[in-house]
Amino acid sequence: MKKNLGLFCLFLFFSIAGLSFAQSSPKAIIKDNLFSVDFINPNQGWAVGYYGTILHTADGGKTWTYQSSGTKTSLNDVDFVDPNNGWVVGYGPTILHTTDGGKTWNKQKIDEDIFLTACHFINEKKGWVVGEWGTILFTEDGGNTWTSQLSGGDAILYDICFADEMNGWAVGEFGTIYHTTDGGKKWELQPSGVEHVLFSCTAIDNNNVWCVGIESVVLRTKNGGNTWERVVTPHVGREPFYHIAFLDYQHGVICGQSVAMYTEDGGESWKPCNFSNGTINYLWLHGISPVGNDGILWMVGEKRSIFISTNQGKEWEKIDW
């Protein structure tokens, strides 16, 4: 039963609400669903999605161009540490690496034959990827070689986050939360108090961490995960929450299936986001990227949707491109 549920949730992660057909031309490819976005500064950003799609902007989102990924598999997460060095992970397993801002992408190899769902790098050398069967892989040479830090569990891990080089969390199926205090040499399970699939986590510091997942679940800890509490939001429904991100201690955003909410008081209260030029009804939103300290956030999702907020997540404008 667990394996069947895992495969269902993994399929959901890759193909939420149905993936549209893509032709071989860049113009057609960029019309497909987007799963993740990452801005390294106010100008430079990347978004990835279905059918090997990688998009790049160098002018703060005014224009987006297609970068050749060399693959047609679903790409689920993107993470850059500076304008040149970035990684993308996805179905396959697929790990792609660039050292020139995405002009060229090179495939990196791992021994494990697993689906990969997320990546997190703290610098151009050290990073982690996660995926099915409770797998956490680590590199300290920019991805030339990968070593297993955790493997063999039932749960698919959907996200990984670090507060610093030592303190990190990985989350996934069955309410699974793993925690490390030594850079991943040892990972320990933390009791989440739920059995929900957790899709996203974000660490504000070593103590304050947030998770979101299926059936609109929101979890937070104020003590590094020794205890987790469920947070009640004003959202009425059981739609999945796919991503959570914070600009700072006070300002954060959650997005999911036809829903987006923001907080300006550290998560004590959440309010619906306002979308100025269009509705998000029946539209799933999957990735969020905060940008610096200017109150700017980016969000991506279904039907190549790209949104920007310039006031800490309260209001969003759809980018037509």
The DSSP call for residue 302 is G
Confidence of residue 19 (pLDDT cuts 50, 70, 90): very low
Q: Is the pLDDT of residue 11 over 50?
A: no
For the ranges 22-31, 32-41, 152-161, 297-306, the lowest mean pLDDT is seen at 22-31
Structure tokens at 136: 């956490």
How much is the average pLDDT of 177-187? 97
What rounded mean pLDDT belongs to the chain?
Answer: 90
Cα–Cα distance measured from residue 226 to residue 39, given in angstroms and rounded to the nearest whole number: 32
- Which string of DSSP letters, residue by residue, matches 159-195? EEEESSSS-EEEEEGGG-EEEESSTTSS-EE---S--
Tell me which of 113-117, 172-176, 180-184, 289-293 is least confident: 289-293
**pLDDT tens-digit map of 272-285:** 999 987 678 778 99
If DSSP codes are grouped into helix, strand and coil, which group holds residue 284?
strand
The mean pLDDT value for 18-33 works out to: 44
User: Model-level pTM?
Assistant: 0.90
Report the pLDDT averaged over residues 43-64: 96
pLDDT band (50, 70, 90) for residue 24: very low
The pair phi, psi for residue 17, each rounded to 5°, is 65, 15
In terms of phi and psi (left: phi > 0; alpha: psi -120 to 50; beta: otherwise), the region of 234 is alpha
The single residue listed with the structure tokens 């700017």 is 296
Q: Which one, of 67, 73, 183, 80, lies nearest residue 124 by Cα? A: 80
Pairing of strands 315-318, 274-275: parallel
pLDDT at 238: 87
* 233 band by pLDDT with thresholds 50, 70 and 90: very high
